[in-house]
Amino acid sequence: MTRQKTMLLLGVIVLAGCASTMTIHPPNDDRLLFTEVEGAGARTIVFLPGLLGTTSYWKAGDLGMLADGNRLLFVDLLGFGQSPWPSIPYTLDVHLDWLRRTLVAHGATEDVVLVAHSFGAVVAAYYAERYPNDVGELVLFGAPVYGSEDEARARVGRMSALAGLLVNNRPVARIVCAIHNVTIPIARRLAPGLRRDLPPAVARDATLHHWPSLDGSVRNVILTRPMSIALRGAKARVTFVYGRQDDVSDPGSVRVLASEVGGTIVETDDEHGSYWKNAGTILEHLLSHEKASKTVKENP
């Protein structure tokens, strides 16, 4: 194939992918993020997934008795899963604005517990900084703690082949994403076989995104908005859940940040994508202990 024909073919693929973003995203005109609600109680626990994640990530594990006495809100972040996929710049402010509208609509504005994984942890940290009176506790699984953009690029680039392209070769990454956009139904069928490390529903849902949401969230949030800045200004209690096999963040950097913000660390044997397995057990222990401590302080 000649170079001209190759470029023409790639151009058609890119245009098809860009056009498809106007039709494949879930219809949603209420400007709220997709949210699933379980349980009831005075305390609200909000679950935010990582990049490419959806509500299915957290629900894949056994959340045990968390829904007993608590209201659980599982949220798909903007541009992913069943939330809207607008073709806009996916900046941190945009993510925070959509999350704010959604949590206000659900009445989650007092002593909220934000549970978040990876990319969601960055969003959660900045949300807690922006709305300090709303968030009482942050539980951050696999939080991407980076000292510089160069460190972020190096670590994110090692996560997967696509992540490597995103941070090192955006033009090729865009072509790959364009092909993905026009083949999402096929990708959803193939995903469980290709990602056997994930539950089938989680693997299928990881295909639900488009180029603007993926590229923008990486460039405008993960690479350039250090969560350390937000956590130093937040008032919420912070717990880092960090897996010994998780190489997305340097464990030393996590320990330093935890010390700076008065946070605690729970170490597990998890890889970056496996926190869903034991999240329920960890959260039950953390939140029951926190509830007991709060009761003692209120009733000395």
Q: For residue 276, what is the DSSP state?
A: G
Domain range enclosing 266:
30-283
Where is average pLDDT lowest: 18-32, 34-48, 110-124, 143-157? Answer: 18-32
| Residue 23 within any structural domain of the chain | no
| Residue 297 within any structural domain of the chain | no
First to last CA, the chain: 79
CB atoms within 10 A of CB 186: 11
| Selected residue with higher pLDDT from 247 and 120 | 120
Tell me the CATH number at 130: 3.40.50.1820
User: What are phi and psi for residue 90, nearest 5 degrees?
Assistant: -90, 75
Query: What pLDDT is recorded for position 150?
Result: 92
Residues 6+ apart with CB under 8 A from 212: 21, 79, 85, 86, 87, 88, 89, 90
Relative orientation angle of helices 3-20 and 170-182, to the nearest 10 degrees: 60
| Residue 162 within any structural domain of the chain | yes
Whether the CB-CB separation of 276 and 61 falls below 8 Å is answered with: yes
Query: What pLDDT is recorded for position 17?
Result: 40
State the total domains in the chain: 1
| Residue 22 within any structural domain of the chain | no
pLDDT at 15 over 80: no
pLDDT (tens digit, 9 = 90+) per residue, 166-218? Answer: 888 888 888 888 888 788 888 889 888 988 889 999 999 999 999 999 999 99
CA of residue 54 relative to chain centroid, distance: 8
| Residue 24 within any structural domain of the chain | no
* CA distances, 282 to each of 31, 64, 102, 170, 245 (Å): 33, 10, 26, 37, 17
Q: For residue 221, what is the DSSP state?
A: I
| Residue 271 within any structural domain of the chain | yes
| Residue 296 within any structural domain of the chain | no
| Residue 190 within any structural domain of the chain | yes
Task: Please report which confidence band the pLDDT of residue 289 belongs to, taking 50, 70 and 90 as the band edges.
Answer: low
pLDDT (tens digit, 9 = 90+) per residue, 128-166? Answer: 999 999 999 999 999 999 989 999 999 888 887 778 888
